[in-house]
Copies of this chain bind each other. A is one copy, B any other.
Amino acid sequence: MKHPTIHDVAREAGVSKSLVSLVMRGSDKVSPTSREAVLRATKKLSYRPNAAARTMVRQRSYVIGVMVSNLHNPFFADVIDGIDMAVTDASYRSILTTGNREPRRERLAVTTLLEMRVDGLILLSPVMHRKHTIEASRSVPTVVVGKAMRAATVASVTNDDRTGAAMVVDHLFELGHSRIAHIDGGSEAGAQPRRAGYERAMQGHGLENQIQTVSGGFTEEDGRVGMRRLLVGGTWPTAVFAANDLAAFGALEVLDAEGIDVPGVISVVGYDNTALATNHRLGLTTVDQPRHDMGRMAAELILAAIASAGTAVNHAVLTPKLIVRGSTGPPSP
């Protein structure tokens, strides 16, 4: 259980510790003989370099720390995948911590990363107070994904919610809808711009007096409540745009229970293109965020910031894509 050190390897191979270090780092100024001997010793002792020691002397860990607010959301798996790719390509490594959506634990998760002296910090939809994000960003290059951050020291990667929402409205308009309602996402990440995008697109099509928004959220229950609210009035909308897939599912459930045909009577659209949207019986029309690219972009921003010693702070906004499935169709005449 005691880890061998570079000295043990040196002794075993009959060379100096410096030479072992050279071999481990793949230097080309080592004779084949020595390299061979060192490698053999390394294998025999199953030596593994000590990252802590290396970090100490190099003053760099070559590690990017990623804090995931919520591992339960499969959205992040793809983002992390993108991060991992880009980071590995640059011969950095990535480690994750998770805050389980609780601000306290998020902060602990970030602290862990910071104490380990990661060279860069990526925060995936943090829910902790923004001042803690900003504080972290003062000691290490930081990028936030999935949440707009207006702060000079924090980079960010988001999808263009405004445009995504507009795409939804455009799609429905082209199908012939005009009574298009929106169940909004309350104060959740991205909800505000989606709502704004919806409203502006409605105006763009001359439907300003058809704008109908009910306040909701990002859960199924929020969707149910919102949908019920929309069914109370005299004239129903012919299409409903929910702020995310989960809420859309809640809406669908209510429509199902009421025996209202989708998309025959009412079309439904979500946002996020989660696995559920694919799996649902009829398939949910939704907006896909380029998750993998968002991750890759986040990694690239971080690496650039590291390379430039923190001067290059950027905000990347990626364009989402409309995915049309069975839950939308032309309105009944």
Contact = CB atoms under 8 A, between A and B. Distances in A.
A117 B281 contact: no
Contacts of A98: 80, 84, 96
A1 B52 contact: no
A100 B66 CA distance: 16
Give how many copies assemble into the complex: 2
A268 to B, nearest CB: 14
Interface string A46-66: 101111110110000101000
Interface string A137-158: 0111000000000000000000
B97 A96 contact: yes
Interface stretch (A9-17, A107-115, A209-217, A229-237): A107-115
Most buried by B among A48, A220, A310: A48
Contact of A56 (B56, B63, B116, B309): B56
Nearest to A276: B279
Interface string A164-204: 00000000000000000000000000000000000000000
A74 B76 contact: no
A95 interface: yes
Given A276-B276, A281-B256, A281-B280, A95 B76 contact: no
Contacts of A63: 112
Contact of A52 (B61, B94, B95, B310): B61
Interface of A: 1, 3, 46, 48-53, 55-56, 61, 63, 71-72, 74, 76-78, 80-81, 84, 88, 93-98, 100, 105, 108, 111-112, 114-117, 135, 138-140, 220, 249, 253, 256, 275-276, 279-281, 309-310
24 contacts: A1-B139, A1-B310, A46-B139, A48-B115, A50-B115, A51-B115, A52-B53, A52-B55, A52-B116, A52-B117, A53-B56, A56-B56, A63-B112, A71-B76, A71-B77, A71-B81, A72-B74, A95-B95, A96-B98, A116-B116, A220-B279, A249-B279, A279-B280, A281-B281
